[in-house]
Amino acid sequence: MERRKFLANSLKHGGMLLLTPSLLTACNKSDTKVDKSVIVIGAGISGLAAAKKLKDKGFTVTVLEAQDKVGGRLRSNRSLGIAFDEGASWIHGIDGNPITDLANKAGMTSFHTVDESRKSYDVGGILRSSSAYDDAEEELYEILDTMMNQGSASQSFESVFNANYPDHANDRLWKFLLSTYITFDTGDLDKLSSLL
């Protein structure tokens, strides 16, 4: 069963325990055994962190994961002989973010990304102009703001986008923007609702 369907069904039928801070603060001692069980959905970084915190508070924890490995979007593909990040590769909001501390403890090298210094290249190493990238990015946000008025529950994001913006459907810059800004966070565009 897909994660979204499982969550929707669980919430609809009342079978889901929603964690609140009061649940954790009800257990003041970390060595106290709590007579409660909790199911954590997803073995990504957030799910694993929640499971650890709950276990440390004395809860019996079961983690459910749809994939055949843990880590969620934290994964690398090494099939070509080099490591290529397929998922999360930025730490968003590095100040005070516990992921920054984990990365440092793991000996990872990191650097601050300055969005204004980014460069976009096309096939053959041809540098795109900053204005071409910026204009396309701005248009993407405008399109996303209007997508809900153009689609329906039975239509995918991909089908509505391609029908309304056929000149963008096979454009490499647009494929990159859709992949980076939409697919990366939501999944395949042919499975994403056009209603976002």
* Domain's final residue, options 64, 87, 113: 64
Q: Which residue has the tokens 């060595």?
A: 31
Q: With 0.85 as the threshold, say if the pTM is over it.
A: no
Give the domain-ending residue among 48, 64, 80: 64
**Residue of 99, 37, 107 lying closest to 74 (CA atoms):** 99
Asked if the structure places residue 147 within a domain, the reply is yes
Q: How confident is the model at residue 9, as a pLDDT?
A: 53
State mean pLDDT over 70-92: 79
Among residues 194, 128, 120, the alpha carbon closest in space to that of 161 is found at: 194
Query: Domain containing 52: what range?
Result: 3-64
Q: Which position has the higher pLDDT, 27 or 158? A: 158
Domain assignment present for 25:
yes
> Is residue 196 in some structural domain?
no
Residue 19 has pLDDT above 50, yes or no: no
Is 159 part of any domain? yes
Comparing 153 with 140, which gets the higher pLDDT? 140
Count of the separate structural domains present in the chain: 2
Would you place residue 183 in the very low, low, confident or very high pLDDT band (cuts 50, 70, 90)?
A: confident
Highest average pLDDT, of 46-55, 66-75, 79-88, comes from 46-55
- 102 part of a folded domain: no
Is residue 72 domain-resident? no
Q: Which residues, in sequence order, are CB contacts of 40 under 8 Å at separation 6+?
A: 47, 50, 51, 54, 61, 62, 63, 64
User: Does a structural domain hold residue 114?
Assistant: no
Chain-centroid distance of CA 85 in Å reads 13
* Ranges 78-92, 136-150, 155-169, 170-184: which has the least confidence: 78-92
Instruction: Assess if residue 154 is contained within a domain.
Output: yes
User: Domain boundary residue among 64, 88, 109?
Assistant: 64
**Separation of alpha carbons 190 and 24, rounded Å:** 39
Question: Is the per-residue pLDDT at 17 higher than 50?
Answer: no
Instruction: Indicate if the pLDDT at residue 3 is higher than 70.
Output: no
